[in-house]
Amino acid sequence: MSDLSSIVKAYDIRGVVGEQLDAETVRAIGAALARLVGAEGARSVVVGRDMRDSSPALAAAFAEGVTGQGLDVVDIGLASTDMLYFAAGTLDVPGAMFTASHNPARYNGIKLCRAGATPIGQDTGLVALREAVEAGVPAGPGGGRVEQRDLLEGYAAHLRGLVDLSGARPLKIVVDAGNGMGGFTVPAVFAPLPFAVVPLYFELDGNFPNHEANPLDPANLVDLQKAVVAEGADIGLAFDGDADRCFAVDERGEPVSPSAITALVAARELAKSPGDTVIHNLITSRAVSEIVAELGGTAVRTRVGHSFIKQTMAETGAVFGGEHSAHYYFRDFWRADSGMLAGLHVLAALAEQDGPLSALMAGYERYAASGEINSTVADQAGRVAAVREVFGARAGTRFDELDGLTVALADGSWFNLRASNTEPLLRLNVEAADDAAVAALRDEVLAIVRA
């Protein structure tokens, strides 16, 4: 088979359906995965899929590849990515989730994990799978069977069991599912809870007729923000296409930063597990590490990317991990990420007290931030070196290169400059005391980067 390097990413497989990803390729990937995990002792693979038009056929082809190698398939049908992790965790089998998350309709992909929801990434099996498919996967003995199972209610009950909502006051919540899998999972999870849900775009539609299912882009939060204010709601929640990320807006329609949610959930988890470890990537606000330390926990900083978070969680036994991109990881959820579980924690914290969300989150929003700013740069290394030279001349400046270049200034402000692994981009994140300080530092760095 032809070169698959264009679709095998660091953490998953993703490409344009019919051009880069088709039934033949997916069938071979299924066969290769079956051989990989079968050699490790697995006898079955659980498969879930999102609402994209291409997902049923691709998932079926993948199942053919798995059963052709003699392994069984547990088909859970429509699922969010964290529901697939729940299946891989509770059934203790490897899993495959067919989704391209927030990408446009013409894309699809596969997120893979081993038993117990342990991720399969570039360094833990994806490269071997790619090479096996490119070399040609030998025919297997066949004989594998496909079993359909409905795990939605089990998933919903499991999540509710991880968050104490027994004393929750009634709340009015607007939820924007973006025509993604949140429209499937939110009704099941929220059904027994004392929350009135106002649904936005719950119709499953992989063509995303209303807006992209990517709440990280502020443009895709506009409808939710307007609806929260118009409805007089207590909170708004937005999910991405495969519903593994959750974003929040407060009662004023103002976005809540994922760093603040990381700090809030960390505080709740540390209350249950005092002195434990919390993981955060290096782009989250420094308020996270400050709050964790103030609460007697240990904050551990990692590179950007879920494989680094999950690996560090496994090494440290951390109770929780958070990323600036609104991925939240829980030890009690097989160290996997669940936007729904993070959302339940926010709702529980809000419902335990009488004040508005804006007041609750004020204690976790200590600094101003720029968000991620991308610049197209041909000479990435040269521009980073230029930035280092300029800021290195200033007293009190500290550098680290855990992931790209992080520059900490004497006044407490900092920025990180990282090169994209796949595009000629430099990604800038800035944090400072207030918006004016952020803007000044941002503009200074961009002037060097874009010179």
Q: Cβ–Cβ contacts within 10 Å for residue 134, how many?
A: 16
- Sign of the alpha-carbon dihedral angle for 118, 124, 126, 132: negative
Cα gap 181→278, rounded to integer Å: 28
* DSSP line for 364-432: T--SEE---EEEE-S-HHHHHHHHHHHHHTSTT-EEE-SSSEEEE-TTS-EEEEEE-SSSSEEEEEEEE
285 is catalytic: no
CB 42 within 8 A of CB 94: yes
215 sits in which H/E element: none
Query: Is residue 256 classed as helix, strand or coil in its secondary structure?
Result: strand
Give, in degrees to the nearest 5, the angle at Cα 11 between 27 and 118.
Answer: 85
Name the one residue in this structure whose structure tokens are 């103002």: 254
Instruction: Give 328's Cβ-side CA count (13 Å radius).
Output: 27
In sequence order, the β-bridge partners of residue 418 are: 427
CA atoms in the 13 A half-sphere facing the CB of 104: 3
* CB under 8 A, 24+ apart: contacts of 267-270: 267/291, 267/295, 267/364, 268/345, 268/348, 268/349, 269/319, 269/320, 269/330, 270/295, 270/296, 270/297, 270/319
Identify the active-site residue in 54, 55, 80, 101: 101
The order of strands in the sheet holding 328-330 is 298-302, 277-281, 320-322, 328-330, 336-337
- By annotation, the residues acting in catalysis are 101
